[in-house]
């Protein structure tokens, strides 16, 4: 029987990846509290994978993190897809649906999360699309700050742009702590200043993940490695700033022994408990 994800903010989760399916099915009670899924990967899926998904969805609360809505894109929003997502969220009683503050399609899918220009025009454009999405979904949407390696145009910095979108759209933020760190190195800003500048009332969930150290001045967000100590420290600072929030450990490939993932989940729990005691 599911327990609501919203019953406690001090919860930890893993992404439901097909490469982890057997481990997730065999996981001991208490290893994790919720599973995050991309709805477009599971809507209408049948066969053995669909059966395994439904069994896990009956055991664990779900959080949904989309991949293909393309909130900042130039093409019209896919209203039919949003309507399907709403049915999926309602059916599985999903409390949180998030998407990326980026775009990934025009006439077709580009299979990457591309950065938006940090301009007033882009703020208005993406905020209008978020509001439209929220109207169709019948619920608030959380957007995630993304990693990026070049910006088309920067009339403002990332923090100012992010806050402007959150205010204009009146939506929430899924704070990716690893992305804050990666961007801070790649673009030369202070990550603590970024955290301090975000409206605390907008943060409803967090992501933490590993990255690849290309050099001292270039970090690549991979989701294919263990979380670095500096990112754990930044997560602790995020809890101090925003309070404990449901936190997902992102791992998309190069999966280690499941016990290693559980150990990282336990690190998240320790950081959450430390903030709770404080």
C-alpha to C-alpha distance for 136 and 128, rounded to whole angstroms: 13
What was the pLDDT predicted at 229? 97
pTM of the shown model = 0.92
What was the pLDDT predicted at 104? 66
pLDDT in tens for each of the 278 residues of the chain? 343 444 468 999 999 999 999 999 999 999 999 999 999 999 999 999 999 999 999 999 999 999 888 898 888 899 999 999 999 999 999 999 999 998 664 544 444 567 888 999 999 999 999 999 999 999 999 999 998 988 888 999 999 999 999 999 999 999 999 999 999 999 999 999 999 999 999 999 999 999 998 999 999 889 899 999 999 999 999 999 999 999 999 999 999 999 999 999 999 999 999 844 44
What was the pLDDT predicted at 17? 93
What was the pLDDT predicted at 274? 84
What was the pLDDT predicted at 113? 67
């Amino acid at each position: 029987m599911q327990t609501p994800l919203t019953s406690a903010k001090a919860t930890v989760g893993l992404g439901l990846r097909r490469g982890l399916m057997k481990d997730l099915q065999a996981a001991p009670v208490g290893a994790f509290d919720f599973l995050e899924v991309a709805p477009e990967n599971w809507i209408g899926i049948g066969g053995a994978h669909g059966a395994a998904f439904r069994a896990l969805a009956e055991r664990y609360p779900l959080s949904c993190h989309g991949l293909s809505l393309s909130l900042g894109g130039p093409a019209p929003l896919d209203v039919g897809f949003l309507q399907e997502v709403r049915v999926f969220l309602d059916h599985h009683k999903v409390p949180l649906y998030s998407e990326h503050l980026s775009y990934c399609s025009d006439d077709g899918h580009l299979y990457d999360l591309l950065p938006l220009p940090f301009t007033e025009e882009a703020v208005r454009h993406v905020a209008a699309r978020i509001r439209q999405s929220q109207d169709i979904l019948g619920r608030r949407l959380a957007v995630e700050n993304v990693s990026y390696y070049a910006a088309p145009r920067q009339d403002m910095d990332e923090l100012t742009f992010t806050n402007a979108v959150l205010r204009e759209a009146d939506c929430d933020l899924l704070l990716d702590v690893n992305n804050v760190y990666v961007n801070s190195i790649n673009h030369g800003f202070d990550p603590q200043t970024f955290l301090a500048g975000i409206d605390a009332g907008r943060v409803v969930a967090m992501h933490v993940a590993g990255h690849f150290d290309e050099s001292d001045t270039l970090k690549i967000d991979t989701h294919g490695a263990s979380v670095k100590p500096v990112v754990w420290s930044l997560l602790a600072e995020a809890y101090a700033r925003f309070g404990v929030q449901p936190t997902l450990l992102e791992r998309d490939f190069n999966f280690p022994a499941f016990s290693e993932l559980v150990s990282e989940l336990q690190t998240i729990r320790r950081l959450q408990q430390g903030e709770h005691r404080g």
